[in-house]
Amino acid sequence: MNAIIDWLNATAFTLLDNPVSWVEVIGFATGAACVWGVARQKIWNWGVGILNNIAFVILFLGAGLYGETLLQIIFAAIAVYGWIKWSRGASGTAGANDLPIRNASRTEALGGVAAVVLGTAAIAWLLHAGTDSVVPIPDAFVLAASLVATYAQAKKIFAHWYVWIVIDLVSVPLYFSRGLALTAILYIGFLALCIYGLVGWNRLRTAAPELATAGV
């Protein structure tokens, strides 16, 4: 096991004078595939996402991004829920994959905003008090907002794309500041994919609501 971890953390190549590890390469590939799968409403995005979570746990722990590390573990748990939710769909039948895209209710929207604000404050305080993190606030925001976005994604709530876009805008400079150049570039790609997903989901739900289900 130690040999595998050592290989994952070994340098694959150098990018912008920053060493890029094999685990960061794996995180790049699985992350891009996962977001593309979400944009296309493919159920397999959840399984690929779990592989991405495992890779990023190793990567972020080594970079001192403790909030991000915890986030990946929680992501994996939520991914199991999302996988089941999308698979059963609106009918609740296994394999249906027909969960429709919808808007957030007023309660869901207000609850989401409150969760991000309070979660960011609480996590930032814990990171500042209990770890050697030098970026507690952005690290905490990415953690809290990503949990809200992933939950909304599992419910196929349209506004989750807006949340991911804001997360990406915060993540890019955060990862560059921690020497994770390839991951920062990945999140620039995520930003583009999120815009693609937002436009695609919006087209489905407005032009042909009856087609706003997975697999289209």
| In a domain? residue 137 | yes
Q: What pLDDT sits at residue 160? A: 94
| In a domain? residue 7 | no
The whole domain housing 175 covers 21-88+108-211
**Integer Cα distance of 191 and 104 in angstroms:** 21
Paired tokens of 121: 């404050």
Percent of the residues in the chain that have a pLDDT greater than 90, as a whole number: 27
149-165 pLDDT per residue, tens: 988 988 889 999 999 99
17-63 pLDDT per residue, tens: 777 788 888 888 998 898 888 888 888 998 999 998 998 888 888 77
Paired tokens of 39: 């944009």
Number of domains in the chain: 1
Nearby residues of 173 by Cβ (< 8 Å), 6 or more positions away? 184
- Give me the mean pLDDT over the 201-214 stretch: 66
Are residues 86 and 95 in contact, defined by beta-carbon separation less than 8 angstroms?
no
Q: What is the pTM of this model?
A: 0.72
| In a domain? residue 118 | yes
20 SS3 class = strand
| In a domain? residue 71 | yes
**Integer Cα distance of 49 and 46 in angstroms:** 5
| In a domain? residue 69 | yes
